[in-house]
Amino acid sequence: MWFTLTPLDADYPRRAKHRFVMEREVPLSANALFDLLGDVAQWPKWFPDMRAMRWISPEPERAKVGALRRADTGSGDVLEHFVVWDRGKRVAFFAEKMTTPLVSAFFEDYEITRIDEHRSKLVWTVAFEPRLAFRPLMFAIGPRFAKMFDDAADALVKYVKSRPS
C-alpha cells in the first residue's frame, strides 16, 4: 500500500524540524560523485538497505528537475521526485509516496563541494516530518533511522575506496 506524502521545495531541509546530517569526504571529483549518486545501478552496491532502484521517468525526462525515480528498500519503497539537479553541486528530492506510513514528509539533499580534483565533501541531509501517530515514538525510531543513514554514508565512502581506479 502506498502513502502519499507532502510535496516539498528545495529549501525544506533548512526549515525541517527533524533532520539528520551526514558529512563525509569522498575520494571522487565532485562530478564523479554526482554521477555515482545519479546512477541507479550503483545504489544497491553501497547503500545497505537498498534492494533496487529504477527510473520511472522516460529517458529524456531523467536526470533533471521533475524526474521520478523508485527506490525499493528493506525499510519500504519510495517514489522520489527531484527538485534539484545541479551536476557536481547538488541533487535533492522529496518522497511523493512511500509504502511505510511513518512520515508525512520526507526529503533527501546531497550537497557536494569540490575539495580538489580527486576529492569532494558530501553533506547529505535527510529531513522529515513524522506522521502524528508516530511522533510519540520518535525517541525510539529516530536514532535507528539516523544510524541507517549514517551507516550508508560510511558505506558510500568504503564503496568508492574499494572500486578500481
- Residue 165's pLDDT band, with cuts at 50, 70 and 90, is low
Rg over CA atoms, the chain: 15
- 106: amino acid identity, one letter: F
Does this model's pTM top 0.85? My answer is: yes
Range of the domain at 126: 3-162
Measure the CA–CA gap between 11 and 107, rounded to whole angstroms: 10
DSSP state of 49: T
The CATH number given to whatever domain includes residue 67 is 3.30.530.20
Indicate if the pLDDT at residue 140 is higher than 90. no
Give how many domains the chain has, as a whole number: 1
Segment 91-119, tens digit of pLDDT: 999 999 999 999 999 999 999 999 999 99
Half-sphere exposure of 88 (CA within 13 A, CB side): 9
Segment 17-76, tens digit of pLDDT: 999 999 999 999 999 999 999 999 999 999 999 999 999 999 989 989 999 999 999 989
In the chain, what are the helix, strand and coil shares in percent, each to the nearest 5? 30, 40, 25
